[in-house]
Amino acid sequence: MKPSRRHFLLLSVLLCSGLGGAMEPISTTIAVGMAATLTAFLASYQDILYHFTECCRPGWISFNGTGLEEDLNRNVFGQHIASRIILKAVSGFMNNPNPKKPLVLSLHGWTGTGKNLISQLIAENIYKEGMGSNFVHVFTSTLHFPHPSQYLTYKSQLQQWIKGNVTNCEQSMFIFDEMDKMHPGLIDSIKPFLDYYDKVDGVSYRKAIFIFLSNAGGDGIAQRALEFWKEGRNREEIELKDLETHLALSVFNNNQSGFYRTSLIDKNLVDFFVPFLPLEYRHVVQCAMAEMRERQLATNKDVADKVAKELVYFPKSERVFSVKGCKTISSKLDYYT
């Protein structure tokens, strides 16, 4: 017999709530029987026992603000705006015992600039199990919702998943990857969960976190970054206000973006639009050095330079920004080591 979702739920309810007082009214025979069954069950499912121990409780879910700050500073290169907004937004939300609505972040930018990376860092500093937590859910449009014509099916499925998971644990996190490839109707279907409602059908979503990842608006961001570069201004001088309004508008009005005319943006349900800047040569070098460190290789600047030089940069005339960000560094590095 394969361990099923139902067993998981039953056991996690039992283990997480403690077996103590609740057992009293049950007769001894039943209690003994249950204990025996439980023991047998646990013994034969040792590999998943590990998972049973994760509970929707502070021991497993607690925010580490210093941890997030350190991780952002140490592991994320060239994203001063995104790092700052993320730290403020997540800290503010997690330190508020009574949030009025769930936290909704929309991460935008060129490919390979760190959107998935930052989502991972957020998860790791909230959930002990990080991305492997049972309370972190990743939906990838092209994987989970591939056929636009079936969006009505997806819609009810997705709504049930979100409801079910938040019922299980208020502090659930949902990451929607490739949001720009998602059917606008599907995007709108999650709207009720994101709003300022006390409860929707008896379930409160106020402690959940929703993160949307997309390349929508990436062109506009790159354009602004290029203007700064051409004016000889420091990249760190680029501020959120230089990008934010423009970003929301371009995402909203672009009929290719998936967010096109969705009421998410209309109704201000997204708390923060987080722009990711395209990465320059020096950031790619930093990524290569970090990758070497991660693999516990001796860091070698020459190799990092070689790797960075292999990548393609845009625009054609200036060649400032890496077309794939830091994305292919890992495989390029294999070649040199």
Ligand X SMILES: *[C@@H]1O[C@H](CO)[C@@H](O)[C@H](O)[C@H]1NC(C)=O
Question: Contact at 8 Å (CB) between 217 and 272?
Answer: no
Q: Is 232 annotated as a binding residue?
A: no
> How far apart, in whole angstroms, are the C-alpha atoms of residue 21 and residue 6?
23
Write the binding mask 166 to 205 for ligand X: x where contact by CB under 6 A, - elsewhere.
--x-------------------------------------
Specify the stretch interacting with ligand X by CB under 6 A; choose among 23-31, 162-170, 225-233, 239-247.
Answer: 162-170
Residue 163: which residues within 8 A CB-CB, separation 6 or more?
Answer: 200, 201, 203
162 burial via Cβ count (<10 Å: 0-12, 13-18, 19+)? buried
Report, in Å, the least distance between residue 283 CB and ligand ATP.
6
> How far apart, in whole angstroms, are the C-alpha atoms of residue 288 and residue 301?
9
Specify the stretch interacting with ligand ATP by CB under 6 A; choose among 22-30, 111-119, 143-151, 197-205.
Answer: 111-119
326 contacts ligand ATP (rule: CB under 6 A): yes
- Determine how β-strand 173-177 pairs with β-strand 209-214: parallel
**Residue of 64, 91, 116, 330 interacting with Mg ion (CB under 5 A):** 116
Angle at 324 between CA 323 and CA 327, to 5 degrees: 160
User: Of ligand ATP, Mg ion, ligand X, none, which one sits near residue 155, judging by CB under 5 to 8 A according to partner kind?
Assistant: none
Residue 279: which residues within 8 A CB-CB, separation 6 or more?
Answer: 77, 78, 110, 112, 113, 287, 321, 322, 325, 326
> How far apart, in whole angstroms, are the C-alpha atoms of residue 67 and residue 189?
34
292 contacts ligand ATP (rule: CB under 6 A): no
296 contacts ligand X (rule: CB under 6 A): no
Positions 206 through 245 that interact with ligand ATP (CB under 6 A): 215
> How far apart, in whole angstroms, are the C-alpha atoms of residue 285 and residue 158?
40
User: Of ligand ATP, Mg ion, ligand X, none, which one sits near residue 251, judging by CB under 5 to 8 A according to partner kind?
Assistant: none
110 burial via Cβ count (<10 Å: 0-12, 13-18, 19+)? buried
**Residue of 33, 44, 70, 153 interacting with ligand X (CB under 6 A):** 70
Report, in Å, the least distance between residue 267 CB and ligand ATP.
26
Q: Is 161 annotated as a binding residue?
A: no
List residues binding ligand X (CB under 6 A). Answer: 64, 66-67, 70, 137, 160-161, 164-165, 168, 255
The residues of the shown chain that bind Mg ion, judged by CB under 5 A, are 115-116
Report the interface residues with ligand ATP, using CB under 6 A: 75-79, 111-117, 215, 279, 287, 325-327
